[in-house]
Amino acid sequence: MYGQTSKRDATRVKDLYYNQMMLHIDIEADCNVARFFKEMCSYDIDRYLRVYYEGANAFRDEEIRPLKFERFVGSMMSLCHFFEYHKMAIYRLSSEAVRLYLNNLKAIIHKGSHSESKTLDLGIEELYILQDLYHEPHNFIPDEYISKLKNILVKAIKVDPSITPDVIFT
């Protein structure tokens, strides 16, 4: 008898087979949740990140799983773009770069059927701060959490809103 499979074992197997399409769908879903809160509840980015902070404290992961961290960073950059420019752009980081914490991170930005690659202004120091914000949100008071997250994200994406095509919500 081999013993019983634990939830942790199942999670590791799932992470092994997690694909980039599913990551894209998850990030897009995160953006649509933010869109709902913005349009239906008049949330701004600060209020939305405060709700996110509360949820992150309640549902922390025991360990830092690279794919979850990759989703967190991609979702946060995509949300920042949405709240800043009122347009959707899905940011997905190069998974190898995130896992290895390389400088000059590349992101693949999806806008409708258009994709582009972009170097982000996001270095190793910022990735370590994002890791702390992701894994240890309880170490920050809400205003500090929101401020650190926004400062890193706005600097990282440096969006040129004239890039087309854009996805306009209807």
Cis omega before residue 165 (within 30°)? yes
Angstrom distance (rounded) from CA 150 to CA 42: 19
- State both tokens at 18: 């997690």
pTM equals 0.75
User: Looking at residue 162, what is its pLDDT?
Assistant: 47
Burial 35-64 (b: 16+ CB within 10 A, else e): bebbeeeebebeebbbebbeebeeeeeeee
Mean pLDDT, the chain, rounded, equals 76
27, 74 in Cβ contact below 8 A?
yes
Q: Assign 164 a pLDDT band (cuts: 50, 70, 90).
A: very low
Helix (H), strand (E) counts: the chain:
7, 3
Higher pLDDT, 129 or 6: 129
Rounded mean pLDDT, 125-153: 92
For the chain, give every domain's residue range. Answer: 7-157
**163 pLDDT higher than 70:** no
pLDDT digits (tens, 9 = 90+) for 9-51: 666 666 665 667 778 888 889 999 999 999 999 999 999 999 9
**100 pLDDT higher than 50:** no
- State both tokens at 157: 């994406």
